[in-house]
Amino acid sequence: MSVHKSDLKKITTHQLQEMKNRGEKISMLTAYDYSMAKIIDGAGIDIILVGDSASNVMAGNETTLPITLDQMIYHGSSVVKAVTRALVVIDLPFGSYQGSSGEALRSAIRIMKEAGAHAVKLEGGSEVKDSVERILMAGIPVMGHLGLTPQSIYKFGTYTVRAKEEAEATKLLEDAKLLEACGCFALVLEKIPAKLAKQVASALHIPVIGIGAGPDVDGQVLVMQDMLGINQDFKPRFLRRYADLHTAITNAVGKYITDVKSKDFPSKEEMY
Ligand code: KIV
């Protein structure tokens, strides 16, 4: 079901907070280009994340590490041009904020100025506290990201569920509180036990958005290519597919090829 155009108001971080306060769940999806962003914004999505998952689903890389700040700005500016309602959050890519808080601020400013983002997202807790604070001091809204943080894949070694052990769960809860205390407007929790996600969402006042974090959080996010069934190889337990675009596109392209080869296309009506 899409949302009525007359119901559409521009989403702000303040409105997201109000949604949490009144128990309304927040919807978030990724997008990386103008055409797709226009469709999902028109359908009424609350937040569009220009995720560094663009590295995987747009560029075909195995991890999110190779994508550059310039490439994120390119994807982000295409999305921003399409959007009239959703809040657009752009990921700070690996290597653009870990070096120092000054570097983090410079990267965040480039994303705001050159792509026109409404907010930035970065991965990590206490390790990135200085960077988060410095970016926030410049008036740039920050979304945190804890749990499975794909930019640290070579430290973790696998993409399995995080924070199953007590020590990691305790650090995650402390990091979540720290990010809220710093002034983050929202937090993404990726691939952690549902029980822990529920504990974090009820301990925090800011909205907590889950991916593979169960139902008891304030909203959900999925990668668009995964939920539309474009990417067929990725089948984690948390993913629900809402379409089978891989089959739909394959069939459409197959029909086009047949029509071209058989000279059925173009017809008299399709020429000048
Ligand atoms: O890059 C991304 O798509 C993300 C989501 C999985 C939350 O960070």
Residue 224 C-alpha to ligand 1 middle, in angstroms? 10
CB atoms within 10 A of CB 16: 26
| pLDDT more than 90, % of the chain | 95
Tens digits of per-residue pLDDT, 73-108? 999 999 999 999 999 999 999 999 999 999 999 999
The answer to whether residue 171 scores a pLDDT higher than 70 is yes
Ligand 1 center to 107 CA (angstroms): 18
According to DSSP, residue 114 is labeled I
Query: Between the CA of residue 208 and those of 149, 183, 217, 222, what are the distances in Å?
Result: 15, 14, 6, 14
- Closest to 183 (Cα-Cα) out of 226, 251, 129: 129
Residues annotated catalytic, as ranges? 190
- CATH number of the 5-241 domain: 3.20.20.60
Give the DSSP per-residue string, 15-62: HHHHHHHTTPPEEEEE--SHHHHHHHHHTT-SEEEE-TTHHHHTT--S
Reported pTM: 0.95
Q: Is 72 in the pocket of ligand 1 (CB under 6 A)?
A: no
Domain spans of the chain?
A: 5-241, 244-272
175-230 pLDDT, tens digit per residue, is 999 999 999 999 999 999 999 999 999 999 999 999 999 999 999 999 999 999 99
Residue 233: pLDDT band (50, 70, 90) is confident
* Cβ of 211 less than 6 Å from ligand 1: yes
